[in-house]
Amino acid sequence: MFLEPIQYILGALSGSLVGFTLGLFGGGGSILAVPLMVYVVGVPVAHMAIGTSAFAVAANAASNLVAHARRGNVLWRCAIIYTIAGVAGAFVGSTLGKAMDGDKLLFLFAMLMLVVGVLMFRGRGDLGTPGVACNREKVPKVLGFGALTGALSGFFGIGGGFLIVPGLVASTGMPMLSAIGSSLVAVTAFGLTTAISYAFSGFVDWPLAAVFIGGGVLGGLVGTRVAGLLSERKGVLKSAFAGLVIVVAIYMAARTVGAFF
């Protein structure tokens, strides 16, 4: 795929915004990455935008994971159990997603985002339980949520953080900041699984992914620091996350509604 030099510059700037969002919310990187690839950078093929963003988001998530781990925001046992279940689901979901029309895929993605954003906003006052552990009673629930979000992540070509964060909160009761840090383990794994599937079909633009990742690393360092500050204020971090999801969902739905009607 041939792109103009200005498109690679826009890719780096878009990547910095995605990295900042991943560091701040754990999720939201992919819900921004796909529309940024399509509507700002100008990637002409929806599946190419999905595959490229999946790889870039996975790399940015890994960078932000290191920063959150250093701050003690990652509950590794919960994160690993959730991720193992989700990787299988992501592979199945990505296989099905490639078979669907790109614009229809983006519209359905927007509808899912809207539902998740509303549900998170309604639960913004729940602060979670600090020091929660994934014991035997919680493991089946964690596995179930992991498999479901992995399948949706693969189907829509997303890292899945905006699904994983509420999934971890719902299945374990952990605080929002812990869910953000822990989700990055799964975001990295889901994104790589999806990207590998799309890459074998020729749907990853590697130079664009490289500049996107470079911008994302810098943005992520800032986002991680801001997340720590906002977590000290009741409900602010969760409300901001939900608001971001809803706004982007409405924009994407408006741009792709013609695929169905």
Q: How many other C-beta atoms can be found within 10 angstroms of the C-beta atom of residue 191? A: 31
Please tell me the predicted confidence (pLDDT) of residue 246.
83
Instruction: Give the total residue count for the chain.
Output: 261
Angle between helices 102-122 and 139-156 (to 10 degrees): 140
What pLDDT, on a 0 to 100 scale, did the predictor assign at position 140?
A: 87
Regarding predicted confidence, which is higher, 10 or 121?
A: 10
pLDDT recorded at residue 128: 57
Average pLDDT over residues 83-96: 82
> According to the model, what pLDDT value does residue 46 have?
79
The pLDDT score that the predictor gives to residue 260 is 64
| pLDDT for the residue 61 | 82
Average pLDDT of the segment spanning 167-187:
84
pLDDT at 81: 92
In this structure, is the dihedral angle defined by the CA atoms of residues 243, 245, 246 and 251, taken in order, positive or negative? positive
- For the residues 100-109, what does the mean pLDDT come to? 75
pLDDT score, position 44: 82
Q: Among residues of the chain, what percentage have pLDDT more than 70? A: 87
Assign 123 a pLDDT band (cuts: 50, 70, 90). low
DSSP for the chain reads ----HHHHHHHHHHHHHHHHHHHHHSS-HHHHHHHIIIIII--S-HHHHHHHHHHHHHHHHHHHHHHHHHTT---HHHHHHHHHHHHHHHHHHHHHHTTS-HHHHHHHHHHHHHHHHHHHHHTTT----TT----TTTHHHHHHHHHHHHHHHHHHTS--HHHHHHHHHHHH---HHHHHHHHHHHHHHHHHHHHHHHHHTT---HHHHHHHHHHHHHHHHHHHHHHHHHTTSTTHHHHHHHHHHHHHHHHHHHHHGGGT-
pLDDT at 112 (0 to 100): 79
Domain boundaries, given as residue ranges, for the chain? 5-259
Threshold 0.85, pTM exceeds: no
Residues 6+ apart with CB under 8 A from 132: 75, 78, 172, 173, 174, 175, 178
